[in-house]
Structure 1
Amino acid sequence: MRESLPRLVDTAPTESAVLASALKRGALWSAGGTIFLRLGNIALMAVIARIVSPRDLGIFTLAVTVHTIVVSIAELGVASAIARSDLDVSRIAPTVATVAIGSSLLLAVPMAIFANDIAWALGSAEAGPAVRILAIGVALIGPFAVPGALLQRDFRQNVVFWASAISFLPGSGTLLLLASVGSGPEAFAWSRVVGQVIMGGFMMASAGAPVWPRVHLDVLRPLLVFGLPLAGANLLSQILLNTDYLFIGRMLSVGELGVYFLAFSIAMWPTAVIGSILNGLVLPAISVVRRDGGDVAAAVAKGVRTVGLVAFPMAAFLCAFSSPLLLTIYGPKWHAAAPVLSTLAVYGVLFVLGLLLANVIIATGRTGVLLVVQVCALAALMPALPLGISVGGIEGAAVAHIVVIGAVTTPVYVFALRRSTGLGLRRLLHAVGRPSVTALTAAAAAWLATWWIESAVLQLVLGALIGAIIYGSLNHLAITALTPAKARSLLKLKRVASRRHKESRNPV
């Protein structure tokens, strides 16, 4: 008989109001924390960009690429099982802790030993010290995996917010201090490690009683069956996101790589703002909807529409105002990133929508689908990137990303989602139709109204104001429906209608 993960039994159906309240509270904390940190990082990079050179940033980019790829498989995907509300966490958590700690150490040690060789293979031996420092961050993934997943399971995004806020200051101070004395790449690396230690320690202290590593053999195999495909998908996903850095590092200069890295980081602002909310809420929320027999397709369609309302205007604004934004925040030496940013803004919004769909697929337990998606995308991207770079440089790399995510990744996600939830393409297009059209309209109108202004600061501010007014007026009803007051009103009307329906069917 095939082994399976232990599920919760004799669980009373979750009240929709309780779930809605938890989701709303978690979303607000997650959004608030993400916006706070994003604004803090923008302010920090505005200072750092005037201290370090594109070359320093390019060297660090190679080091952090290694770190990002290794971290994606550091806990073998098993921690996501804890975030599933339909599983018995008390039974699986000790085994998850054992797997996460052991696997992260097994990856961190060789990364530190062979740091110089890895850096040389990537095209810049100067990245070796930063790679070795970031290996510490890989080792820390294991101890913090279970506490982080427990907070996610319980929608305790308020704890994650405070952990992020508290760790931001010492991490930023480390970066500023080391960068000011000329240690550019290593400054970025140490700041990440310092922030991770403080954030992880705070989360561990707030997650409750510690989970001590132990191995329950009856859940080990099901955990690995669940986690390994997810880890493989995560690995391929990070390779997809970072392969361009590897190709640019070897085919072009590290200075151009630094310019591209900054543009890509800005283009992912929609993901930075929305991604933490999706990763923190979608998996436990959809698992609860499935457990209670709810309409998963309707929940996903509503989620897609909500994400689109936020992501599309951000991407459209970045595309239209890339040049004044870079000049205003980062300075003239980064102006070369403007055309790349305009192109990558399209990729950013497609990526965040794919992130939502991927979390839904994980919640249905079909993690193998994600592995298939990433294999297909990587097979298409590997030849597309060198071709794009050879033809168009760093802009060509951006175009290659858009072609692959639009023609390969997104269609496969949509097909898998229909198989898992019954949500079809027409309903998805309907969900994103209005946000995408109105965002393009608002961005185009704002650009036409401000293109003649010589001051980059004034153009940026007026463009944002005009675009926000137009977009807000075109989506007034949809945006109002997302506010807490409106949500409470709709919930109250739903309860009244439900009570009247029961009374009509059961007359006294």
Structure 2
Amino acid sequence: LSPRLADIIGADGTTVRVLRLFSAAIPFAVFIRMVNGSMQGFKLPVPRTVLQNVSLPVVRIIGIAVVVALGFDSASVAWAYLVSYLVTAFLGLWFLHSRTPIFNWSVQYTPVRRTLLTFSAPLVVTAAMSAVFSDIDIFLLGALAGAGPVGEYNAVYPLAQFLTMTVSAFGFLFVPVISELHADGDHDALRRLIRTITKWALLANLPLTLLLSLFPETIVSITFGPKYVAAAPVLPILAVGFFVHTAAALSGNTLTSIGKTRLIMYDNF
């Protein structure tokens, strides 16, 4: 379907090549996410860090550097993405084999197809909705204000997005621990854990929130240059929004851990 998609968006043959290469990377990307989920379930943060934060970006950067150094066209950069996902997928397969009992055929397992489908189906709907609405602010801004404000907004948005890193760091081991506490019926420990992690996440984000809110012009000027200072007033609003989000950021993980995925789907409506 790559040629037809290219015709729909009015692109040339180069785009067809890029679409084909990226589509070939999709199965490997899905497998990597499954491996990361398995590592999370077994409470193994190191393999996930190696896959997501070391192997994938490093192989991609090396591949892009090789493509540029050899003078290939821009479409060949897509090969770097495909190779990075391919290498990381095989590394993930090795982690599954060496760190988990998944390939131990002597281990007996109980089929949970119906339970897995009931648990996962609402999350699939939620993920689809998130894919549609995650960039709705950019679409609306582009439709109402034009391309210039979109560029300025996209420049400062990643700065405020740094505030999500703390919750992401806590969240990796949070889900399996909460699942164990819920399975054991230890709801008091569950509440204490949620409160403690939320408190420390808020405290960790407070200095950066104050910095982004009090000195937006200086930060934007140093980071992107004086021509983006016009977008500085947006930065405090985004920073405060992400800081408030920290207080409830673990709610989704908590509901997932205790099996309330349908409630997550309803909330996203």
Q: Same fold (TM over 0.5)?
A: yes
The 3 A distance-change label for structure 1 pair 119 and 194 is farther
2:222 is the counterpart of 1:328 = yes
Residue type matched to 2:229 in 1?
H
Given the alignment, which residue of 177, 182, 185 partners 1:293? 185
State the SS of the aligned residue for 2:185. coil
CA–CA distance in 1 between the matches of 2:85 and 2:213? 32
The answer on whether the counterparts of 1:148 and 1:204 sit within 8 Å (CA) in structure 2 is no
Unaligned regions of 5+ residues in structure 2, if any?
none
CA–CA distance in 1 between the matches of 2:135 and 2:119? 25
- Report how far residue 273 of structure 1 moved: 4.1
2:28 match: 140
1:364 match: 258
The answer on whether the counterparts of 1:140 and 1:197 sit within 8 Å (CA) in structure 2 is yes
2:159 match: 266
The answer on whether the counterparts of 2:167 and 2:249 sit within 8 Å (CA) in structure 1 is no
- Report how far residue 373 of structure 1 moved: 1.2
CA–CA distance in 2 between the matches of 1:333 and 1:271? 26
1:102 match: none
- Report how far residue 367 of structure 1 moved: 0.3
The answer on whether the counterparts of 1:267 and 1:318 sit within 8 Å (CA) in structure 2 is yes
- Report how far residue 251 of structure 1 moved: 4.1
1:307 match: 201
Given the alignment, which residue of 31, 42, 55 partners 1:154? 42
1:259-300 deviation per Cα after TM superposition (whole angstroms, max 9, x unaligned): 32232222111113431431x112101001112232222221
Identity, in percent, stands at: 20
CA–CA distance in 2 between the matches of 1:132 and 1:144? 19
CA–CA distance in 2 between the matches of 1:249 and 1:211? 49
CA–CA distance in 2 between the matches of 1:352 and 1:371? 20
Unaligned regions of 5+ residues in structure 1, if any?
1-109, 376-508
The answer on whether the counterparts of 2:209 and 2:243 sit within 8 Å (CA) in structure 1 is yes
Write out aligned runs for 1:71-220 (5 A).
112=2, 115-116=5-6, 119=9, 133-163=21-51, 164-174=53-63, 193-208=82-97, 219-220=112-113
CA–CA distance in 1 between the matches of 2:147 and 2:23? 22
Write out aligned runs for 1:437-476 (5 A).
none
Q: TM-score, normalised by structure 1?
A: 0.44
- Report how far residue 167 of structure 1 moved: 3.2
Given the alignment, which residue of 211, 224, 239 partners 1:345? 239
- Report how far residue 360 of structure 1 moved: 0.5
The answer on whether the counterparts of 2:198 and 2:246 sit within 8 Å (CA) in structure 1 is no
1:398-440 deviation per Cα after TM superposition (whole angstroms, max 9, x unaligned): xxxxxxxxxxxxxxxxxxxxxxxxxxxxxxxxxxxxxxxxxxx
CA–CA distance in 2 between the matches of 1:301 and 1:153? 22
Range that drifts further, 298-307 or 128-137: 128-137
Given the alignment, which residue of 215, 223, 240 partners 2:116? 223
CA–CA distance in 2 between the matches of 1:145 and 1:309? 30
- Report how far residue 366 of structure 1 moved: 0.5
The answer on whether the counterparts of 1:147 and 1:204 sit within 8 Å (CA) in structure 2 is yes
The 3 A distance-change label for structure 1 pair 236 and 339 is same
CA–CA distance in 1 between the matches of 2:159 and 2:178? 30
CA–CA distance in 2 between the matches of 1:373 and 1:179? 46
How many corresponding residue pairs? Answer: 256
The 3 A distance-change label for structure 1 pair 159 and 324 is same
Residue type matched to 2:179 in 1?
S
Residue type matched to 1:358 in 2?
G
The 3 A distance-change label for structure 1 pair 330 and 179 is farther
2:126 is the counterpart of 1:237 = no
1:36-56 deviation per Cα after TM superposition (whole angstroms, max 9, x unaligned): xxxxxxxxxxxxxxxxxxxxx
**Two-structure CA RMSD over aligned residues (Å):** 3.5
The 3 A distance-change label for structure 1 pair 171 and 229 is same
State the SS of the aligned residue for 2:112. helix
- Report how far residue 159 of structure 1 moved: 1.7
Residue type matched to 2:28 in 1?
L
1:368-395 deviation per Cα after TM superposition (whole angstroms, max 9, x unaligned): 11111111xxxxxxxxxxxxxxxxxxxx
1:107-129 deviation per Cα after TM superposition (whole angstroms, max 9, x unaligned): xxx6x465436656xxxx69966
CA–CA distance in 1 between the matches of 2:120 and 2:255? 13
CA–CA distance in 2 between the matches of 1:136 and 1:142? 11
The 3 A distance-change label for structure 1 pair 220 and 118 is farther
State the SS of the aligned residue for 1:266. helix
Larger Rg: 1
The 3 A distance-change label for structure 1 pair 230 and 259 is same
1:65-120 deviation per Cα after TM superposition (whole angstroms, max 9, x unaligned): xxxxxxxxxxxxxxxxxxxxxxxxxxxxxxxxxxxxxxxxxxxxx6x465436656
- Report how far residue 208 of structure 1 moved: 1.8
The 3 A distance-change label for structure 1 pair 116 and 148 is same
